[in-house]
Amino acid sequence: MKCFLIASESAEVLFYWTDLEFHQNIQEKYGASQEEGHELPAFEDSISTLFAPIIISFSTMLSQGDSYTSFTTENNHNYVLCQFDECLYIAVNGDGEEKEEDLRRKIYVMKKMTEVLFGLVTLSGNLLRKELRAQDTEQRVRLWKHLQSLLETYSHLRENDQSFLVEAVERLIHPTLCEQCIEFLERRLVQQLNSSAERAGEEVLHAFILVHTKLLAFYSSRNASTLITSDLLALIIMAQNMYPSNIDVDDPSPESFYTPEPSPTDKDSKKPLRGNAPVFEFVDPDIQMAEDSLSTLEICPPDPSTPHRVFLEVSQKDVVYPMMPHSMYCLPLWPGITLVLLTKIPSSVVAMSVYTFLEAFTKLERRLNEGQGGSARGQPMHEVRSKLDKFIKTLALSGIQSSQLENVWTKFKNRAFSRGGLGFSKELIPWCKEMKIQLCGIYRQCFLSDPGPADTPQRLSPSLQERAQTMVQEKLMDWKDFLLVKSKRNITMVSYPPSETDFPGLIHFICVDRSCGQMIAPSLSITERTTSELGKGPVAQYIKSKVWNLVSITRHYLQKGYSTLTLRDGDFYFCYFLWFENETGFKLDTKEIPALPDDSSPIGMLALDYYRKLLRYYSKNHQGEPVKCYELLTVHLGVIPTEIILQHCRQLASKLWEPSRNPLL
């Protein structure tokens, strides 16, 4: 019994997802109330009818300053609500599988995915409503199915993949192959793509290879800024959504160890073509999208060579620009192995200008609200005036429809800068809001509007994409079977740490470098055909459930301000540590971690990067010195003495991040 809804303040449905049980429950509830001879209402209308009282109640109490963020009904259905601008996000669970924290995390992750898909348009509730609820029915159905599929993919990864459990990137541990692949991406692939005449003005900034959800190799060009962990995790979700990993099918023989086979000779080799890699879908019956009245429409699948527009954070000269436009090319090499290219588009400079002006009007609005109109009259707004005049002229020369922006800007100037105008007073606040709406409209027109039939598509040509795909396939041909097995046996307790006799009684561990968003942990992949070192069946599943529960408990205490936790649970002893080090590996004194309210954003790196804020907070006392943040979770047998367990944790933490063990990136 699960449901997810995005709605406007007037209870208009902007997006929804339900599982099969919730869908059937709604149909039975509203089907029974229909008069005989009348058709059943559209499912979307039923959803709107069900949630309208909740939405109206929430909006009314919010306007009175007495809002709530969650509640539980008499039948034990949990509801979590979050308001973002003019959109209300609601997550519901009625089967007890998700706690309040899980529902809140799901909301924030979906908020992140909308930012990646729609960029700065998410800052305008009115424009975001137009994107989510397009007037064209076919376009709306396609978008909702895409968002529903992304939500299901995230939920699947969150329940089965350790990297999405702790929200950090896991890399394949094979330093030699990683180094070779990075060198190949840099010196051959990216260089050839960026020197080709078929790239249509786009420039490849990042290229990386995924084996299932694990990172084999990652390369960024010299002109690229760092791809933050939050964005990378969101891209992995999108890649998995396009080409889902079916472990039982993708893994050739999980119980075998592979030696790479010799390359085929020229006679019998056949270059794999772009369309050869089949798309596998999840077969888990729990991962099933509820059918609705719109699902009967036949939607034409998009052209596979068409890139996805994604909006990612960019840093230039110490200035951070969130949600800047990129093109994402996801090229399947074999089932389970994918090449991802991120390119800079020619008009991205427009997005940077729009964000700069949005920031200026947001700051002005804040000052006016605080009664600081006099301080807003100074040099910054005069600089904005000059730059915005030039920007509007440039838009007109580029053929971008900017007449509405120009009209609003003219009215703003007449009120703010002329002698007889309003000046910089609170009366100018509505005009600040209107300017921000118009700027977001320019952004939407440039980066989210579909090109017309006469427009030349701005993308890497299909032949260039196929060439890139073939180059990487030829490079990894001898390794593909090994990589698929390695992704399921990335780190084992037998081989990592080097001697299990060093840590007797240690069952499992997860170590995370929060400074770069990477994690190391033994494999916990348990399917019908594969087994972990914990075996197969109830025992392995029991340990896995304990690990998932431990992560949830540690986040709860971290939210309360605790950086260390030891817990005995039956036959097991759990430990959690968070600490800081300088660049030389010297452990720094941990000052008090700030406690957060219960309804704050969830702790993690995918939705809102809690650890990024924590590092900034801690670095205030270590100016000019790079600070790193680490986490370690361990599971021991309960019979091991406590002092031995703590000694293990210290030794394990020092061994895991030794330079010789840290794979190249």
The string of pLDDT tens digits covering residues 599-653 is: 889 999 998 889 999 999 998 888 888 899 999 999 999 888 989 888 888 888 8
Give the domain range for residue 24.
2-34+41-99+136-160
Alpha carbons 23 and 189: distance in angstroms, whole number = 47
- Give the global pTM: 0.88
CB proximity list for 81: less than 8 A, separation 6 or greater:
54, 58, 68, 69, 70, 88, 89, 90
Query: Highest mean pLDDT range out of 37-51, 354-368, 637-651?
Result: 354-368
Confidence of residue 495 (pLDDT cuts 50, 70, 90): low
Give 91's strand partners: 4, 80
Q: Which residue has the higher pLDDT, 380 or 263?
A: 380
pLDDT for residue 505: 87
The string of pLDDT tens digits covering residues 109-144 is: 999 999 999 999 999 999 999 999 999 989 999 999
Asked if residue 60 has pLDDT above 70, the reply is yes
Give 634's strand partners: 509, 575
The reply to whether 505 and 475 lie within a common domain is no
CA distances from 100 to 70, 80, 157, 316, 581 (A): 8, 7, 19, 38, 33
The alpha-carbon radius of gyration of the chain (Å, integer) is 27
Q: Which residue has the higher pLDDT, 500 or 110?
A: 110
Residue 285, domain member (yes or no): no
The reply to whether 209 and 317 lie within a common domain is yes
Asked if residue 662 has pLDDT above 50, the reply is no
The reply to whether 424 and 476 lie within a common domain is no
Total number of domains constituting the chain? 4
Give 171's strand partners: 215
Alpha carbons 107 and 110: distance in angstroms, whole number = 5
CB proximity list for 586: less than 8 A, separation 6 or greater:
none
**What are phi and psi for residue 292, nearest 5 degrees?**
-135, 180
Q: How many CB atoms neighbour CB 93 within 10 A?
A: 23
Asked if residue 167 has pLDDT above 60, the reply is yes
Asked if residue 262 has pLDDT above 90, the reply is no
Alpha carbons 245 and 335: distance in angstroms, whole number = 7
Mean pLDDT along residues 511-520: 93
**pLDDT averaged over every residue in the chain:** 84
Residue 219, domain member (yes or no): yes
Asked if residue 482 has pLDDT above 50, the reply is yes
Alpha carbons 597 and 453: distance in angstroms, whole number = 52
Residue 433, domain member (yes or no): yes
pLDDT for residue 450: 74
Residue 622, domain member (yes or no): yes
Give 332's strand partners: 338
Mean pLDDT along residues 252-263: 45
Confidence of residue 268 (pLDDT cuts 50, 70, 90): very low
Asked if residue 346 has pLDDT above 60, the reply is yes
Contact 576, 633 (CB under 8 A): yes
Q: Which residue has the higher pLDDT, 298 or 589?
A: 589
Alpha carbons 646 and 643: distance in angstroms, whole number = 5
Asked if residue 259 has pLDDT above 50, the reply is no
Q: How many CB atoms neighbour CB 377 within 10 A?
A: 15
Tell me whether the omega of the peptide bond preceding residue 497 falls within 30 degrees of 0, making it cis.
Answer: yes
The string of pLDDT tens digits covering residues 289-342 is: 444 434 444 445 566 678 999 999 999 888 999 999 999 999 999 999 999 999
CA distances from 95 to 75, 99, 280, 308, 549 (A): 10, 10, 28, 35, 17
The reply to whether 191 and 333 lie within a common domain is yes
pLDDT for residue 124: 92
Mean pLDDT along residues 10-28: 91
57-66, 193-202, 248-257, 563-572: which has the minimum mean pLDDT? 248-257
Contact 90, 79 (CB under 8 A): yes
The reply to whether 222 and 327 lie within a common domain is yes
DSSP 40-57: PPPHHHHHHHHHHHHHHH
pLDDT for residue 309: 95
224-228, 231-235, 330-334, 586-590: which has the minimum mean pLDDT? 586-590
The reply to whether 464 and 417 lie within a common domain is no
The reply to whether 544 and 648 lie within a common domain is yes
Residue 126, domain member (yes or no): no
Alpha carbons 383 and 385: distance in angstroms, whole number = 5
pLDDT for residue 660: 42
Asked if residue 271 has pLDDT above 50, the reply is no
Residues of the chain with pLDDT > 70, as a percent, come to 82
Asked if residue 275 has pLDDT above 50, the reply is no
Asked if residue 461 has pLDDT above 80, the reply is yes
pLDDT for residue 382: 83
CB proximity list for 429: less than 8 A, separation 6 or greater:
365, 368, 369
For residue 329, give the CATH number of its domain: 3.30.450
The reply to whether 366 and 439 lie within a common domain is yes
Confidence of residue 465 (pLDDT cuts 50, 70, 90): very high
pLDDT for residue 301: 56
Question: What are the CB-based long-range contacts (under 8 Å, 24+) for 394-402?
Answer: 395/350, 395/442, 400/442, 400/445, 400/446, 401/445, 402/442
Residue 283, domain member (yes or no): no
Q: Classify residue 87 as exposed, middle or buried by CB count within 10 Å of its CB (0-12, 13-18, 19+).
A: buried
The string of pLDDT tens digits covering residues 386-408 is: 999 999 999 998 889 999 999 99
Residue 123, domain member (yes or no): no
Residue 281, domain member (yes or no): no
Q: How many CB atoms neighbour CB 113 within 10 A?
A: 22
The reply to whether 503 and 645 lie within a common domain is yes
Confidence of residue 373 (pLDDT cuts 50, 70, 90): low
CB proximity list for 305: less than 8 A, separation 6 or greater:
274, 459, 462, 465
CA distances from 533 to 493, 508, 523, 528, 570 (A): 8, 10, 8, 14, 21
Asked if residue 38 has pLDDT above 60, the reply is no
The reply to whether 218 and 334 lie within a common domain is yes
pLDDT for residue 422: 64
Alpha carbons 15 and 7: distance in angstroms, whole number = 7
Given phi > 0 = left and psi -120 to 50 = alpha, else beta, which region is 75? alpha
Asked if residue 490 has pLDDT above 90, the reply is no
The reply to whether 614 and 563 lie within a common domain is yes
The reply to whether 196 and 319 lie within a common domain is yes
The string of pLDDT tens digits covering residues 182-222 is: 999 999 999 999 999 999 889 999 999 999 999 999 999 99
Alpha carbons 138 and 116: distance in angstroms, whole number = 22
